[in-house]
Structure 1
Amino acid sequence: MEERAVLANIATIISKDLLIDQQSRNSKSDTGSKFPLLDVSDDDEAEIFAMMMSQRKTKQKRKKRSGENTAAAQEPQKSMPPVKAPKLEWKYAELNLLHRYVDTQFESFLHMRKLSFLKIHQALEEILKRNALPGSPTPQTTVSLALWKLCTDEHFEEIARKFQFPWSVCQQVVRSFWHIVSDHYESFIKWPNSIQAQQQTLIGFQNLAKLSCFKELFGIIALKRIEVFLECEHAEVAVVMQLICNAEHKIIDCYVELEQDYTFEESPIGQTLALNPRTMPAGSYLIGSNSFPLKSYLIRPIEAECFRKDAIFNSLLEPAYQLADNVLDTLSRRFNTLYALEARDLNEVRLIVESICAMHNLCIENQDDYLDIGQHTFSWGGTVSVHKGSEKDVKGLRRRVELLDAVVNSEHDD
């Protein structure tokens, strides 16, 4: 109450001052119509005072902004200087891994053939030249450092000591590589959009004996849980990597999210398919585990197997899960950084994963078979066991019943 009384008194003083000023300019006696403040009650004076102060501040801001705009228009030569683009200061020798190591050493470090490395370098050379930061090393050095970082579990400090470069410069080079690859995402991680590409994707699965019964299979979707050290959190956090692969073991979509925030519906492909099912050919679908929700375009196994047909159907899905596991296994065996993944923040994790998937696809395109020789499957990361998709989608239930009848009956006919 005391504060309200003080504000009321201040408002009264200001109103009286205004009256005196106005009377000195105008001798008319019609104060009732000219000075509405005289008619208000004491209870409203505090509110009026606050409104007056607010309007005064607003006018001052507008006047200041208007003055700045006018000055800018009158003096264009005094415009703000352009923001300086970041640049590298590479003053070191070329890094040539092809000459540095014999074939067996090279393959043991980078988990690919030298010919594959050369073809990857050729595929990236023009993109790196066009988009590299000022002062960057040659594309060969950039690719060498980036692949060394991705294919080994070494930290930047170890890489710097090995090749005798400052570790901070190594960081800049590799991180610029991740950004460039991510900016050209669709050049390496291609969702089949054209009619021809979509038909080839369908035919690819039909040509696999164990999955040929799924005539409209368009992709296999899988999840992997990874522990990542985030510098921004100063701690390890769990993230979920969602991948979709085709019959050729190439990745056609990838997405990364914090485990606590992950849902399929919130992923880009989940939102896209919900809004536009024509993203895939009519009647086609993805196959996923029970971590995914059942949709008309996403088939998951039957949880409660009530009939023999249900068990047969679930068993027919197994080769699809095996194919996805093979892709994830290949990623981890080739790109060992997944074992000790560290990044500044979640966005950088996404850049790294996208770069890994892009390099994986280039290795597949170049038919690199290094990992197929003398290698064994092993477990890594973790499963997203706490996450369980819904089975309540009516269209999904109907689609799965139709698919179950068609697939199981065709298997019996064979």
Structure 2
Amino acid sequence: MTEDEDFDLPDEEFSFVTLFAACSDIQEQRKRYKVERFVQDVVSRYSLDTFKTFFRVSKTTFEAILENIQHIPELLLREPAAGRPQISHEKDLLMMLWYIGSQETIRSIADRFNVSESTFHSHNRRLLDVFQKYFLQKFVIWPNDVQTVNNEFEIKKNFPGVIGAIDSTHIRIKPPNGHSNDYFNRKKFHSVILQAVCRGDKRFTDIFCGWPGRVHDARVFQNSPLRQRGPILCGQCHLLGDGAYPCKRWLITPYRNRGNLTRDQIKFNQILSSTRVIIENSFGILKGRFRRLQFVEMNDISYVVKAIITACILHNICILNQDELDEHFDNDPQQVPLIIPMFENDAEGQLKRQLLTRQLAIT
């Protein structure tokens, strides 16, 4: 018998061995390793840097949030079911932050915190509800310190009168059953749209989320509350947007370049673009810190939206607490050329843009 023949097996025996090995691998994968006392024995020993690495916020920020949720009626500790331990506010918040800040599976997170998947789902959803109900209007607010915001923008690129920058971003999702095409966007993946305005320090001051990815940014804007409230909110100031938006007295956009722009108009477009880019940076920071937003796999779209809104709230809380995290997600690594629809630009908006063009030409 040759050396090669030594290792030959009959086809039937080979098939059995292969099948047995495959079944063993599957059984191994199915083993559940729940971690007992993860919060008490493991998290409590994390260094400050390690805590922030896993939970995406500093320990100080975490404690501030924990203090804010202690007395919310929906989170008052209830009597646990027979034989089940009570879950503290601390553990609830840690589970939610781990979820928002990672791409770990629900099964893995539940095992890590020694709870069932159904318990994780119910507690996570309850906390997402609480953030939207109690914290959205507390932390995502339109600025009343108008001059401060104007200065935040003007000090960067000399663009005067700016109250915020507006844009939309696509949040990759698992499409809901029966509506896959509605959520398939021009970038060739399924998403929901987050429209946001930010100020110069990258805090979001207005968010509107939930429209299917197939819808154009312009239609999302036209149906957002900001479209109606914008003139009053902005007053004599203005937002900066890209060419997907109409030019209005309170929303300044670039000139469309058909090859006939003047030198001053080209300069205006360049300054507007370099000022407005802060909203793209904000989206990159948001997705870099709260990595669940790189792909949200939930069956219920309403809770996809609540997870996104919660991440935006946490983003603002971190900025207010000077809690920086130097991780940036490349928001749109493969830009698809945007087909800009024709708008009836506001005559007042066009006049204001001309005045701003002259003003910036001499800076």
Per the normalisation by structure 1, the TM-score is: 0.67
Specify which of 251, 268, 271 is matched with residue 204 of structure 2: 251
Matched, 1:115 2:67: no
Alpha-carbon distance in structure 2 between the residues aligned to 1:382 and 1:228: 18
Matched, 1:199 2:150: no
Asked if the contact 1:225/1:238 (under 8 Å) is kept, the reply is: yes
Match of 1:147 in 2: 97
Once the two structures are superposed, the pairs formed by residues 223-238 of structure 1 within 5 Å of their partners are: 223-233=168-178, 235=180, 237-238=190-191
Match of 1:270 in 2: 227
Asked if the contact 1:224/1:383 (under 8 Å) is kept, the reply is: no
Q: For structure 1, which segment, 106-115 or 306-315, has the greater mean C-alpha deviation from structure 2 after superposition?
A: 106-115
Match of 2:139 in 1: 188
* Amino acid corresponding to residue 298 of structure 2 in structure 1: A
Query: 1:405: how far off?
Result: 1.3
Q: Secondary structure at the match of 1:388?
A: coil
Asked if the contact 1:331/1:356 (under 8 Å) is kept, the reply is: yes
Q: Which runs of 5+ in 2 are unaligned?
A: 1-35, 79-85, 184-189
Alpha-carbon distance in structure 1 between the residues aligned to 2:337 and 2:195: 14
Q: Alpha carbons of 1:377 and 1:359: their partners in 2 closer, same or farther (altered >3 Å)?
A: closer
Q: Alpha carbons of 1:284 and 1:315: their partners in 2 closer, same or farther (altered >3 Å)?
A: same
Once the two structures are superposed, the pairs formed by residues 153-164 of structure 1 within 5 Å of their partners are: 153-164=103-114
Higher helix share: 1
Matched, 1:407 2:355: no
1:101-131 CA-to-partner distances (Å, cap 9, x unmatched) read: 33343222223322222223223333xx322
Q: Secondary structure at the match of 2:173?
A: strand
- Structure number, greater radius of gyration: 1
* Amino acid corresponding to residue 188 of structure 1 in structure 2: F
* Amino acid corresponding to residue 361 of structure 2 in structure 1: V
1:179-227 CA-to-partner distances (Å, cap 9, x unmatched) read: 11111220121122x4xx3333323323x332xx222100001111222
Once the two structures are superposed, the pairs formed by residues 51-130 of structure 1 within 5 Å of their partners are: 95=39, 98-126=43-71, 129-130=72-73
Query: 1:361: how far off?
Result: 0.5
Matched, 1:280 2:234: yes
Match of 1:344 in 2: 299
Match of 2:330 in 1: 378
Query: 1:141: how far off?
Result: 1.5
Match of 2:283 in 1: 328
Q: Secondary structure at the match of 2:282?
A: helix
Query: 1:143: how far off?
Result: 1.2
1:70-101 CA-to-partner distances (Å, cap 9, x unmatched) read: xxxxxxxxxxxxxxxxxxxxxx9684574053
Asked if the contact 2:56/2:289 (under 8 Å) is kept, the reply is: yes
1:304-336 CA-to-partner distances (Å, cap 9, x unmatched) read: 252111111011113223311221111111100
Query: 1:291: how far off?
Result: 1.8
Query: 1:134: how far off?
Result: 6.1
Once the two structures are superposed, the pairs formed by residues 157-172 of structure 1 within 5 Å of their partners are: 157-172=107-122
Alpha-carbon distance in structure 2 between the residues aligned to 1:353 and 1:280: 25
Alpha-carbon distance in structure 2 between the residues aligned to 1:398 and 1:105: 53
Q: Alpha carbons of 1:145 and 1:381: their partners in 2 closer, same or farther (altered >3 Å)?
A: farther
Match of 1:48 in 2: none
Corresponding residue pairs, total: 304
Q: Which runs of 5+ in 1 are unaligned?
A: 1-91
Asked if the contact 2:165/2:199 (under 8 Å) is kept, the reply is: yes
Alpha-carbon distance in structure 2 between the residues aligned to 1:103 and 1:377: 23
**RMSD value, Cα:** 2.5
Match of 2:22 in 1: none
Alpha-carbon distance in structure 2 between the residues aligned to 1:333 and 1:311: 32
Asked if the contact 2:163/2:239 (under 8 Å) is kept, the reply is: yes
